């Protein structure tokens, strides 16, 4: 029996899949069940008085979709927009939201044991947007709690009262 098969037999196959992506020099990942599609960046319609990380909106097959640049939101990398800029379309609570990233890496499968709790950063960084950390192929992957981020009052893209309690 392979190590992976043995692990799944022991854990009951409770591994979760994450889509990994790059922002600047850092590797991040989010729950793949929230991913609707991956697209290239296209021109957005700007929204007056929106924060800098909300680039604007696009019309995606009849849905008006807000586009959030995570590079600006997390203050990592350089926010350039060209043919290589990637937008991950997410379905959060029935609402479509696009996030701009530098690149998409891979789909990774992690067990609960592989996910380390997020460190306490104090006031410098709000760890409620982190699910945890994982060491994958000698890279530290930051697991983003994308649902908490998108439903946060700070972004206001999805009503917080519509958030389901996982407990």
Mean model confidence pLDDT for the chain: 82
pLDDT in tens, 15-73: 999 999 999 888 999 999 999 999 999 999 999 998 899 999 999 999 999 999 999 98
Sign, CA torsion 146/147/148/152: positive
Dihedrals phi, psi of 117, to nearest 5 degrees: -65, 150
Cα first-last separation, the chain: 34
pLDDT in tens, 136-151: 888 899 999 988 888 8
Pick 17 or 131 by higher pLDDT: 17
CA distance 132 to 127: 9
Of 28-37, 128-137, 149-158, give the lowest mean pLDDT range.
149-158
Dihedrals phi, psi of 73, to nearest 5 degrees: -60, -45
pLDDT for the residue numbered 111: 92
pLDDT for the residue numbered 155: 67
Q: Which tokens in the block code for residue 9?
A: 């037999």
SS3 string of 95-148?
EEEEEEECEEEEEEEECHHHCECCCCCCCCCCHHHEEEEEEECCEEEEEECHHH
């Amino acid at each position: 029996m392979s190590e992976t098969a043995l692990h799944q037999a022991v854990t009951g196959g409770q591994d979760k899949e994450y889509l990994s992506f790059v922002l600047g020099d850092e590797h991040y990942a989010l729950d793949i069940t929230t991913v609707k599609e991956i697209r290239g960046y296209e021109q957005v319609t700007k929204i007056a008085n929106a924060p800098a990380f909300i680039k604007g909106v696009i019309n995606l097959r009849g849905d008006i979709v807000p586009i959030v640049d995570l590079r600006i939101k997390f203050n990592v990398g350089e926010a350039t927009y060209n043919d290589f800029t990637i937008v991950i379309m997410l379905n959060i609570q029935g609402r479509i939201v696009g996030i701009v990233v530098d690149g998409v890496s891979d789909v990774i499968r992690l067990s609960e044991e592989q996910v380390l709790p997020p460190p306490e950063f104090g006031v410098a960084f709000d760890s409620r947007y982190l699910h945890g950390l994982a060491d994958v192929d000698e890279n530290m992957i930051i697991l983003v709690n994308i649902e908490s981020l998108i439903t946060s009052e700070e972004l206001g893209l999805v009503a917080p009262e519509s958030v389901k309690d996982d407990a």
